[in-house]
C-alpha cells in the first residue's frame, strides 16, 4: 500500500512539475520575442536578459552557450547598450553668453594666435625703425628736451625710468643718441647740400628756443629735470670724459660738492681769461 502511494505521489509530482516547466518555457519564449523586437532579434541579448533560477531547464543554458558562440564579437550587447544610453542622452546646457572652451570644440586651435601675431609684428617694426628712433632721440636731446619722455620711453623701446636711474641711462647712452643724429644730419648735407643747409637752419631755431632760458638749479635732484640732466652730462661727461661726482641726500641724488666746486672754478678761470 505504501508503495502504491509513493508511486501516485511521484506521478503527481512529475505531472505538476512538467506543467510548471511548460509554463516557464512559454514565458521565456515571450520574453525572448519581446527582447528580439527591441534589440534587433539577437539571441545573445535574449539569453542574457532571461532570468535564471533552479527551474530553468538545461536547454536554456545550451541556448546561452549557442548565443555566445554565434555572437563572439559582442555586437548585440553593444547595440543594446548604445540604444539604452542614446535614449538617456541630453544636449549640454551651454550659456550662449559664455564663449565655449577650447576643450569642447572639435578643432583645437592655438591658444593665443592674435597675441603671437601681434608680438611678431611689433618686434619686426621695432627692428625696422630702430635707427630712425635713435636719430629722433638724438634730435630730441638738442631741439626738444621737454619731449624727451614721449620720444625715448613712450615709443616702446625702453621702460620708463625716473630719478637716478634715468640719469644713469642717459649718462651711458645719451652721447650715442646725439652722435647718431649729428652723423645722419652731416650725411644728408653731404648728399643734398642745398636742402641740407635749409634743414640745418630750420633745426637751429627750436634749439635756441629750447635752451635760451636755461639755468642750472643745484637744488634739483639728478634725473628730475631733463634739460639740466642733459646740460650736466654734456659739460662734465660727454665732451670731457670726466666722471660725475654724486652724493645721496636722504632718498635723492645730487651733484657732489667737489663737482660743483670744480664747475665754479672752471667758470671763474674762463671769466679771468676773457677779461685778460
Q: 0.95 cut: is pTM over it?
A: no
At which residue does the C-alpha cell 505504501 appear? Answer: 2
Q: How far apart are CA 218 and CA 238, in angstroms?
A: 20
| Same domain (yes/no): 121, 243 | yes
Residue 53 in domain: yes
Residue 210 lies in a domain: yes
Chain centre distance of CA 159: 21
Q: Give pLDDT tens digits for 238-275.
A: 777 667 778 888 888 887 765 555 554 344 334 444 55
Note whether 133 and 237 are same-domain residues: yes
Residue 103 inside a domain? The answer is no
Residue 94 within a domain: no
Measured distance CA(160)–CA(15) in Å, rounded: 106
Q: Give per-residue pLDDT as tens, 4-19.
A: 555 545 555 556 556 6
Distance CA 122, CA 115 (A): 11
Q: Verify that 66 and 187 share a domain, yes or no.
A: no
Let me know whether 193 and 247 are in one domain: yes
- Does residue 194 lie within any of the structural domains? yes
Q: Do both 81 and 143 map to the same domain? A: no
φ, ψ for residue 163 (rounded to 5)? Answer: 65, -135
Predicted pLDDT of residue 136: 92
Look at residue 184 in the predicted model and tell me its pLDDT: 93
Domain extent, residue 63, equals 2-85
Is the predicted pLDDT of residue 145 greater than 50, yes or no? Answer: yes
In 223-248, which positions are buried (b, 16+ CB within 10 angstroms) versus exposed (e)?
bbbbbbbbbbbbebbbeeeeeeeeee
Grouping H, G, I as helix, E, B as strand and the rest as coil, residue 247 is strand
165 and 81 part of one domain = no
pLDDT per position as a tens digit, 70-98: 555 555 555 555 555 455 555 555 555 55
**204 in the same domain as 149:** yes
- Total of domains in the chain: 2
Amino acid at each position: 500500500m505504501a508503495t502504491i502511494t509513493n508511486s501516485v505521489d511521484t506521478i503527481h509530482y512529475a505531472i505538476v512539475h512538467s506543467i510548471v516547466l511548460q509554463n516557464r518555457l512559454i514565458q521565456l519564449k515571450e520574453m525572448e520575442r519581446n527582447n528580439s523586437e527591441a534589440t534587433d532579434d539577437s539571441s545573445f541579448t535574449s539569453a542574457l536578459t532571461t532570468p535564471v533560477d533552479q527551474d530553468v531547464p538545461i536547454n536554456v543554458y545550451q541556448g546561452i552557450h549557442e548565443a555566445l558562440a554565434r555572437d563572439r564579437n559582442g555586437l548585440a550587447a553593444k547595440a543594446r547598450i548604445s540604444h539604452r544610453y542614446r535614449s538617456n542622452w541630453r544636449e549640454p546646457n551651454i550659456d550662449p553668453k559664455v564663449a565655449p572652451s577650447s576643450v569642447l570644440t572639435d578643432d583645437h586651435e592655438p591658444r593665443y594666435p592674435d597675441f603671437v601675431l601681434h608680438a611678431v609684428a611689433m618686434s619686426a617694426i621695432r627692428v625696422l625703425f630702430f635707427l630712425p628712433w635713435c636719430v629722433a632721440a638724438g634730435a630730441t636731446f638738442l631741439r626738444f628736451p621737454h619731449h624727451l619722455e614721449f620720444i625715448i620711453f613712450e615709443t616702446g623701446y625702453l621702460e620708463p625710468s625716473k630719478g637716478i636711474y634715468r640719469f644713469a641711462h642717459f649718462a651711458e647712452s645719451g652721447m650715442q643718441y646725439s652722435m647718431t643724429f649729428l652723423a645722419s644730419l652731416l650725411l644728408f648735407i653731404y648728399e643734398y647740400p642745398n636742402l641740407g643747409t635749409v634743414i640745418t637752419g630750420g633745426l637751429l631755431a627750436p634749439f635756441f628756443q629750447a635752451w635760451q632760458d636755461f639755468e642750472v638749479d643745484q637744488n634739483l635732484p639728478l634725473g628730475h629735470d631733463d634739460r639740466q640732466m642733459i646740460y650736466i652730462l654734456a659739460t662734465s661727461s660727454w665732451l670731457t670724459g670726466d666722471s660725475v661726482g654724486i652724493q645721496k641726500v636722504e632718498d635723492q641724488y645730487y651733484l657732489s660738492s667737489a663737482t660743483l666746486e670744480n664747475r665754479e672754478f672752471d667758470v671763474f678761470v674762463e671769466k679771468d681769461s676773457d677779461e685778460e
